[in-house]
Amino acid sequence: MYEKMNIQWFPGHMTKAQRMIEENLKMVDAVCELLDARIPRASRNPDIDRLAGDKPRLIILNRIDLADPAMTARWKKYYEARGFSVLETDAKSGKGVNGFAPAVRRLLADKLKEYESKGQVGRTLRVMILGIPNVGKSTFINKVAGRKAAIAGDRPGVTRGKQWINIDSGLDLLDTPGILWPRFDSQEVGEMLAITNAIKADVLDKETLGANFMLRLREMYPKAIEERYKFAPDPDMNGFELLEQAAKKRGFLVSKGEYDMERMANTLLGEYHEGKLGRLSLEAPDD
């Protein structure tokens, strides 16, 4: 099984990741990009379209168990309209994972025909998985591989050390996912990545993160605040006031009239992570 990696993205790491992708791209027929279904824009690597070149592309919206189903459906349409194949999965439970092999075959139907017309019947299709840290790549690969995780072994023309997992007759998956850097382009994106655990929340001030998350919830899912923290969010309050209101309701009192805001921020983020606030997406497509 794969270990989770926590990587700080320095320019050196980015160059190395880029080189790894370029090397592996030569060997694959399709590129499959994992996104967090709750933030299908913020969780995309900003350079993926350039890196993937003209390879056929599949987008996997993962963590659908935590995302708003209606929003996930909108994102699916959004990416399909832009030429991507899209699959929805919950890699943790395995939901949707069975659709992977058929989706790849559909995506590569023309390629298969081309191979056949050249007499290369039975030629194996190869796919690589890419995504930012923590998006679920290893979990997904392990689920897809299932009991077939027995590795196919090196083959001619494959860089030494590369392993392929045979997931279906004629379909192989590169066993190591490509880890790409996340976006660094705005505080808002950084916050969404921290809220969904794509980056460590402690790079940002927890209280501010919690306050801004409250604002986002009030805007998108006010009912979730009401149901979980037992107050209707006042439209005139700022994020800190909303967070304090929740701390009051939870009884996180430190001294007379003073509430433990950091504890409340941690509680809020932890409960979101566990899905206790419901299935909530943080981004809508502009459709």
Q: How far apart are CA 247 and CA 258, in angstroms?
A: 10
**DSSP letter for each residue of 115-159:** HHHTT-TTPPEEEEEEE-TTSSHHHHHHHHHGGGGS-----TTS-
3-class state of residue 65 by DSSP = coil
With binding defined as CB under 6 A, does residue 138 bind ligand G4P? yes
Q: How far is the CB of 134 from ligand G4P (least distance, A)?
A: 4
Burial of 70 (0-12, 13-18, 19+ CB in 10 A): exposed
Please tell me whether residue 44 binds ligand G4P under the rule CB under 6 A.
no
Q: Does 62 bind ligand G4P (CB under 6 A)?
A: yes
Residue nearest to ligand G4P (CB): 136
Per CB under 6 A, the segment of 20-28, 86-94, 186-194, 218-226 that binds ligand G4P is: 86-94
Q: How far is residue 14's CA from residue 215's CA, in Å, rounded to a whole number?
A: 33
CB 108 within 8 A of CB 114: no
Any contact of residue 137 with ligand G4P (CB under 6 A)? yes
Cα 152 to Cα 73: distance, rounded to the nearest angstrom = 36
Q: Is 143 in the site for ligand G4P (CB under 6 A)?
A: no
Q: Give me the least distance between CB of 223 and ligand G4P, in Å please.
A: 21
Q: Closest separation between CB of residue 225 and ligand G4P, Å?
A: 21
Of positions 63, 183, 218, 279, contacts ligand G4P by CB under 6 A? 63
Positions in the binding site for ligand G4P (CB under 6 A) = 2, 4, 62-63, 65-66, 90-92, 131, 133-139
